[in-house]
Structure 1
């Protein structure tokens, strides 16, 4: 498991300003197609480019304000979306002869922690691409106020990921965070107070990754490598049921890994529990230990609890006035920072198992789902051993498909929001959840099948 990376308390994290640069945007937009070609990534924009071209033309003419909510299955999403917004949408607008008086610029929310683990260069690019840094584990009023103002003014569309973080699964969506609805209704109220009649719409975008070729031999070879690494005797393949054999092998690998973690945490699992139930118990145990250390209440879903733990750790690692502490106080602050970092490591380990389950493959045992789950397990093992796992042979190049969903109006719900804010936000998030789910690959395949039957 990685050693604590923090040994001393550090100065408080400063707020990262938004410093958009058209020059940086122009350079990045030219480099993106080269990046995708080098990675073998094929991008299919479906209806997204044309639909967004119409929406941006309306927005730039002052006809509406836009909040774009996208599915977030991969860390590649930002560059794929950047290519969509900066390259494909202007091209579609020219084809459709739609006026775009200004180059497309955006404002988007990103986690303040990204520059910490991704590096200063990524942080610099995020700032100059229109990013608004937000602390997700606390009520970050300045960041929310900036996002609210951007959405109300309507000069730039606001882009958010309602899931809050990646889950690395194209076929399963993480719980949506209610902050999206709150921002939308705040902005709608601000427009009403300013007698601004522009409609406010939320546009959902679905993102789906898949492999261009289904190389099952590569899957089998990587399963064998994992079994050898963990000292597992690989089961003989069943030619009558190859999907079931691979699923059983992957679950056995996951179970072996889980047993080691349970021993580390002195957990005594119920032998009658399923693999999924044992993973769930391990997650809750890890979160509870970290929450106990920071005296946090165990409320909310898994993602919300992880964000609060992360913020509590940062509050002890990045401290105001750390340079003014006496030698004794500084030593104690360093001690507290090291302990906080260890709890943060425990939470990160739980995060690596957030999406690991047995049902994801059982529900639909196709190549894409199996490959995604295999990559999650490999990544978890590499992270625990503090040595990235180099899975070989390659699973091959990928493709990504983007789909634009139906717009969700916000201002028509304002009266209902004033009567019962909590219920209205809940209903709006349900509608957004359904709109994003309808853009997922399973939903699209189902609708196509039903259309053919009809």
Structure 2
């Protein structure tokens, strides 16, 4: 995450895909090292093993694709930032290996175009845009209602590209391997567009959407690291430390759960008072509920709603949709204030107008921080840990609280602490035929919208079934 934005910026231009097989090959050579040591080469905390289930499904689909029989889109889960790297490993190593084992002949490279958030180059640096453009990336303004150039490029590649295309239908990572966030309708819409474009071109390929699930686990349960991280968060927030002897505790999961609830309640209480006092928001001090966990989640959701309203009031936006929808609209509004498309030459502005533009950009960045806090908790519910009190779920929840505190106390958003070596399981689901659905579809706009909605829901169910 970059430092606070204190001046207006030029528009974020579209980064044209310039696929380069040589750059892709270099990435493939470096991939095992990147997976292990992506951010901190000196820490034992990367991904050491990736398992692919049902990879033969993708192998057969690639064979049909290369024979011009089908077009397909890979709709993959997006719980963590490492997901694209795991997908690259799946396509570059696991699928070719399975294809060889089953006697399926594939042309190289076995790869895909992919859609990524244009904001990633803001947070990481311009070098990422250069790299992604060379390995098949299509940037999209995640918050824009209609990023025409990105959509048209992705649509063209879906129909005519030499490779399939991959998209994360959740739109962003939610930090939960065991929860699928509500899907955005773009993937289903792209599927119907592809069928329509093929029909207009008198082409007979069948169009599929392939659900792919990704889940992470730790090679060794990191209870001691979770204890360390909780202690750090308790200290940073002002709570007294509660050190425990993990090895001697007969019920360590219950102790950690109590600590997470205690820390969560404290942070929520502090943030509620923050918004009452400084943003004059009406937040109830008590919520009627006989269930402590549910009361805590109700307070969290009310707090998230309040944080979004503070930002929405500044940008003049009416609250519409779920938390994710509202975050996307606020991101669009904030970027419009910071990356000024209405100012063709920022450096040519007189000092007075430049000062006003910088003022607006800095304030927009501050207001967007309310939205960034909410983004971390869009998938949190009252039963996630209790359903499966695993080290992975404790770690995920604790890391989300780390994200929140880091965004508040640091001028830069530091990288997450790594709690140990991780393993990934990638599961390929059964392909969903979009062509079959299109055959029974009328040209009525309402019918098309309904078909997109049904397909989106069916894809959501398919992804949820892939959770272990």
Is the 1:4–1:345 Cα contact (8 Å) retained in structure 2?
Answer: no
In structure 1, how many angstroms separate the alpha carbons of the residues matched to 2:413 and 2:315? 30
In structure 2, the residue matched to 1:155 is 162
Is the 1:205–1:436 Cα contact (8 Å) retained in structure 2?
Answer: yes
In structure 1, how many angstroms separate the alpha carbons of the residues matched to 2:187 and 2:33? 33
Give the Å deviation of 1:133.
0.6
The one of 256, 269, 273 aligned to 1:263: 273
SS in structure 1 of the partner of residue 441 of structure 2: helix
Give the Å deviation of 1:367.
1.6
In structure 1, how many angstroms separate the alpha carbons of the residues matched to 2:338 and 2:252? 49
In structure 2, the residue matched to 1:429 is 456
Is the 1:4–1:338 Cα contact (8 Å) retained in structure 2?
Answer: no
Q: Give the structure-1-normalised TM-score.
A: 0.90
SS in structure 2 of the partner of residue 42 of structure 1: strand
Aligned: 1:272 with 2:251: no
For structure 1, the residue ranges without an aligned partner over 5 or more in a row are 442-454
In structure 2, the residue matched to 1:307 is 328
In structure 2, the residue matched to 1:252 is 262
Aligned: 1:377 with 2:401: yes
Aligned: 1:84 with 2:90: yes
Pairing of 1:311-326 with structure 2 (within 5 A): 311-320=332-341, 321=344, 322-326=346-350
Moved more, 203-212 or 213-222: 213-222
In structure 2, the residue matched to 1:343 is 367
SS in structure 1 of the partner of residue 52 of structure 2: coil
Give the Å deviation of 1:363.
2.3
In structure 2, the residue matched to 1:49 is 55
In structure 1, the residue matched to 2:42 is none
In structure 1, the residue matched to 2:292 is none
In structure 1, the residue matched to 2:19 is 20
In structure 2, how many angstroms separate the alpha carbons of the residues matched to 1:74 and 1:384? 21
The one of 370, 378, 383 aligned to 1:354: 378
SS in structure 1 of the partner of residue 211 of structure 2: strand
In structure 2, how many angstroms separate the alpha carbons of the residues matched to 1:82 and 1:95? 20
Is the 1:109–1:134 Cα contact (8 Å) retained in structure 2?
Answer: yes
CA displacement 1:108-136 (0-9 Å, x = unmatched): 11111110001122222111111111112
In structure 2, the residue matched to 1:414 is 438
The one of 229, 232, 241 aligned to 1:225: 232
Pairing of 1:323-334 with structure 2 (within 5 A): 323-334=347-358
Is the 1:66–1:154 Cα contact (8 Å) retained in structure 2?
Answer: no
Moved more, 326-335 or 79-88: 326-335
Moved more, 220-229 or 46-55: 220-229
In structure 1, how many angstroms separate the alpha carbons of the residues matched to 2:223 and 2:372? 30
For structure 2, the residue ranges without an aligned partner over 5 or more in a row are 38-44, 289-294
CA displacement 1:389-441 (0-9 Å, x = unmatched): 7988x632111000000000001111443351122111111110111011112
In structure 2, how many angstroms separate the alpha carbons of the residues matched to 1:177 and 1:388? 27
In structure 2, how many angstroms separate the alpha carbons of the residues matched to 1:239 and 1:95? 47
CA displacement 1:261-280 (0-9 Å, x = unmatched): 22221153331351101110
Classify 1:378/1:411 alpha carbon distance in 2 versus 1 (closer, same or farther; 3 Å): same
- When the two chains are superposed, the root-mean-square deviation of aligned CA atoms in Å is 2.3
Aligned: 1:109 with 2:108: no
Is the 2:309–2:319 Cα contact (8 Å) retained in structure 1?
Answer: yes
Pairing of 1:160-239 with structure 2 (within 5 A): 160-233=167-240
In structure 2, how many angstroms separate the alpha carbons of the residues matched to 1:4 and 1:293? 22
**Aligned positions, number:** 439
User: Structure 1 stretches (4+) deviating beyond 6 angstroms?
Assistant: 235-238, 387-392
